[in-house]
Chains A and B, each alone.
Chain A
Amino acid sequence: MKIVIDEERCVAAGQCVSAAAKVFDQREEDGIAVLLDERPPAELAPDVRQAAAVCPALAIRIEE
């Protein structure tokens, strides 16, 4: 699994961090989502999918 974040779309809602704090964080200066782990281990896949599903800006893309 590989994750791509579209920074232009991100609205800094913080939903991805709520869903998968081991994979996503928010940049201090503008709240834009940052990836802590671009290729997370399989056990985090459900959390990552949840993060993508609750992102209000549809800014998270998952490449399987």
Chain B
Amino acid sequence: MTETATTEELPEFPAPRLGKCPFAPPPGLLELQDADKPVRRVRIWDGTTPWLVTTHVAQRQILSDPRLSATIARDGYPHTTEAMKVHASEMQPSINNTDGAEHTRWRRMLTSSFTRPRMQKLRPAIQQITDDLIDKMLAGPNPTELNEALSLPLPSLMICELLGVPYDDHEFFQEHAGVTNAVFKSPEASAATAATLRSYISGLIEKKMDDPGEDVLTDLAERVKAGDLAMEEAAPLGHILLVAGHDTSANMITLGTALLLQNPEQLAGLREHAHDEKYVANAVEELLRYLTLPHLLARRAVVEDIELGGETIRAGEGVIASLPAANWDPVAFPEPATLDLARAAAHHLAFGWGPHQCVGQQLARVELQVVFGTLFRRIPTLRLDAELDDLKFKEDSQAYGIYELPIAW
């Protein structure tokens, strides 16, 4: 077989979801999973052929290997979207786009704001907001739509509070977050939305220089004022936190609710243990594992040749670690297609792995624990008000989710 013929037969990444289960990773992705061959070439949207890593053990290995770079302008970096590829060389260094000591510097600017003890202290506030939103939902029209009623407002309110962003602007930034995460946007639309959000954030940072609060943007404002950080560096950081801080949790709440409604036995168990914080915390890890909403990540460029799974991966080549594949690896999670809220799932890779693992993960956990511990307890008759087949899933967004989830009770 010639090399050309082999290239033509490469599987596409991402594979379409098709099939009957929109909650499962694409069947075409799972078919590639092979413990003896954890690394293989695939073809992505721009015709390039990066390596795909499908097993849990191999992904943990490469995502903590300093010979792979998260810098998107590096040779061979497998871009997720056309917009990313077009703008790669202009991207400012930031937490998502740097390696090693430089990345550590960025990360440490934020870590104190998102520690587990600090996020645990927010639990009563998150509970209060959740209860208020559910009160409002119960007093309003029935049926209703879950994103609008609960999934979006809860994490948006929390990230606004933490960053010091006015919640009154939520329609504006939620719409721009949708564009930021869209896969098929034009490079022009992407640049325009990034510029709009950055100028919005830098406006807020400027205000906080004169009128400080107790929030992350105030911390950034102090660094800018002290000359430790340029405004051009601070604004993208605020942009990343604002988008990642609400859109991801919102999608998890909606997807998780829909998935639980499809699994009445598991849902009954959750309802029964709704006051058991440990059970609920574990259930959330299993939902994170099962649904893995960053379905197109993680991506790296190889900067020094590595040996992995019997292959030599060369400097200048790209690697995609499919997080949903790792989370459905039967070696790490026996019978991965079975949703089992009591299984040990904390070693999932839904927040990524290695030095770039999600900074906001402990906030997301508390939000999800409160929502899933409260929603079905307070509304035991909650049900889908649509056919599963009629729901539109966000295959075209970097954060997997459901565009609208009609519910009734």
Task: Verify if A60 is at the interface (C-beta below 8 Å from B).
Answer: no
B346 and A19 within 8 A (CB):
yes
A30 and B108 within 8 A (CB):
yes
Task: Verify if B262 is at the interface (C-beta below 8 Å from A).
Answer: no
Chain A positions within 8 Å of B353 at CB level: 56
Total CB contacts across the A-B interface at under 8 A: 67
Interface stretch (choices B35-43, B112-120, B155-163): B112-120
CA distance A26 to B116 in the complex (A): 7
Task: Verify if B64 is at the interface (C-beta below 8 Å from A).
Answer: yes
Interface stretch (choices B12-20, B174-182, B354-362): B354-362
Overall SS of chain A's interface: loop
A56 and B64 within 8 A (CB):
yes
Say yes or no: A17-B112 contact (C-beta < 8 A), given A11-B357, A54-B346, A57-B64: no
Task: Verify if B136 is at the interface (C-beta below 8 Å from A).
Answer: no
Q: State the Cβ distance, B281 to closest chain A Cβ, in Å.
A: 8
B355 and A26 within 8 A (CB):
no
Overall SS of chain B's interface: helix
Interface residues on A, range: 20 to 34
Task: Verify if B22 is at the interface (C-beta below 8 Å from A).
Answer: no
- The interface bits of chain B over 355-379 (1 if a CB of A lies within 8 angstroms of the residue's CB, else 0) are 1011101100100000000000000
Interface residues of B in 91-138 (CB under 8 A from A): 104, 107-108, 111-112, 114-117, 119
Query: Of the candidates B111, B351, B354, B355, which one forms a contact with A31 in the assembled complex, judged by CB atoms under 8 Å apart?
Result: B111
A26 and B115 within 8 A (CB):
yes
CA distance A28 to B118 in the complex (A): 8
A54 and B108 within 8 A (CB):
no
CA distance A26 to B118 in the complex (A): 9
CA distance A32 to B115 in the complex (A): 9
Query: Of the candidates A13, A26, A58, which one forms a contact with B117 in the assembled complex, judged by CB atoms under 8 Å apart?
Result: A26
Task: Verify if A12 is at the interface (C-beta below 8 Å from B).
Answer: yes
